Chains A and B, each alone.
Chain A
């Protein structure tokens, strides 16, 4: 508890202490920022303030920033194909769409009051609720691991996001092994979920994380194998080259089985209904997320929906021709439209399906989907060897 201020003298002393801290901290933080700013952009803060009165010079300065290298990458990373866009599109817009969509299917109304139009501001209301809640950390948890779990989940979601190519020049990273890197990043999730369940020191969390582990390990392998057909057709592991190879025909035409397998595996990977056994709110409270409340839970939701968007985007990249479409819309718009449709299709089971049983889930993953993905690979090889499709484009 902070000491309560009762007399005027204490009040003055308190103010003086605050002033002292400000005087101490200002050179420590402001000066380095100033120097970094100066070396990066070649102008100082003061010049920027004087620029605000001259709109044309300001616009020229902003244009120069967008074109030069460090700020361009920074902008892409933080704003347009990167984090802010994904956070707004996936977690603010798509959660609202999901609520309304599922509500309409189930003959309900959904969010209605927040915001003038159909409760569109409901998510902001929820965000503020979560922000103002206390972040509870139970006494018997393993603190170091417990606190780092939300960060680790955001790391996974963010790195997946960096791989999604929205357009021929709108991407953050273009590694030469992008198609496998997706699975390398996804394979971190069971580790993190396992640690979350263990560190919470709670039986529901542990059971939930064990279920998540079973499910993710079972569905990661068919997910990887279902993409091998696409890689055979495109002749590359580079996500951009996979999209370029689909300039004529989308791969879903040759690889429908692969697309179905990948779709189901993504649903299982995201723990979405009908594969939401790890959360199973009617049996396990909230599964491995039980002990996380307040903004920690908010970060979990944000990471899940960003991962949802990124994996839907990767589905679009692999099977739906990425940014290709008729020319009246820019490529990025086509990509976002396709991703939106894929996300809607992934939301649909949530409205109509019950949760599957654990043995059905495991048998489906290990035997049926595995078999399907092998059949799909043979179809791809057949298509290539019959000469219907030449590797790397028509």
Chain B
């Protein structure tokens, strides 16, 4: 029996998987970026369907609002097509398929080991208060390590992007002289 929830699930699955395929296969790289955004949005809607709106909303805010926009921005600056034109040889595609299969098998087996197979429909969805309590209590070390990783990556980005003021002044001097 197909009800409205199943129909919505199928539609959203088509949007997410189709968006992902479009992101990989689109000839025009901008359409690929839009497909990526659509895929993220589909996944966020699946979270809504699974009764966890908090995760869904942050999926939209972070992935559609920040990641997809950054990808689009980068793609727009790199419109040469130099790095995207090469087609992949047979060895690479076979290796890719094997990697994907290994990843899927390991993820699925760990999900089932974590008790996904006997999940019941009646379990009430955790609210964001519960998530906050877990993150500041039992899983506080995880949160702190994640924060440290993020801080380290921000510092790394700043160091990479930093313009040396001495070199800038030197360049300006040379420009004046010439």
Contacts and interface: CB of A to CB of B under 8 A. Distances in A.
Interface in B39-57: 53-54, 57
Contacts of B65: 183-184, 186-188, 190-191, 220
Contact of A194 (B60, B69, B128): B69
B69 A198 contact: no
B64 interface: yes
A175 interface: yes
Contact of A177 (B37, B69, B76, B128): B128
Contacts of A95: none
B165 to A, nearest CB: 16
Contacts of B128: 177, 237
19 contacts: A145-B30, A177-B54, A177-B57, A177-B128, A181-B53, A181-B57, A183-B61, A184-B57, A184-B64, A184-B65, A187-B61, A188-B65, A190-B69, A191-B37, A194-B69, A194-B72, A194-B76, A195-B72, A217-B69
Nearest to B127: A176
A187 B66 contact: yes
Contacts, number: 61
Contacts of B127: 176
Contacts of A194: 69, 72-73, 76
A194 B69 CA distance: 8
A299 interface: no
A-B residue pairs, 10 tightest by C-beta: A187-B65, A184-B60, A180-B57, A177-B53, A184-B61, A184-B57, A190-B69, A177-B57, A187-B61, A181-B57
B111 interface: no
B68 A176 contact: no
Which of B34, B60, B61, B127 has the most C-beta atoms of chain A within 10 angstroms of its own C-beta?
B61
Q: Per DSSP, are chain A's interface residues mostly helix, strand or loop, or mixed?
A: helix
Interface of B: 30, 34, 37, 53-54, 57-58, 60-61, 64-66, 68-69, 72-73, 76, 127-128
A180 B76 contact: no
A187 B64 contact: yes
Interface residues of A, number: 25
A204 to B, nearest CB: 15
A387 B120 CA distance: 41
Given A183-B61, A191-B37, A237-B128, A175 B69 contact: no
A66 interface: no
Given A180-B58, A195-B34, A195-B72, 11 more contacts: A145-B30, A176-B53, A177-B54, A181-B53, A188-B65, A191-B64, A194-B73, A198-B30, A198-B76, A213-B73, A237-B128
Contacts of A190: 65, 69
Nearest to A237: B128
B44 to A, nearest CB: 8
Contacts of A195: 30, 34, 72
A206 to B, nearest CB: 8
Interface string A190-203: 11001100100000
A224 B65 CA distance: 13
Nearest to B34: A195
Contacts of A187: 60-61, 64-66
Contact of B66 (A181, A185, A210, A217): A217
Contact of A175 (B53, B61, B76): B53
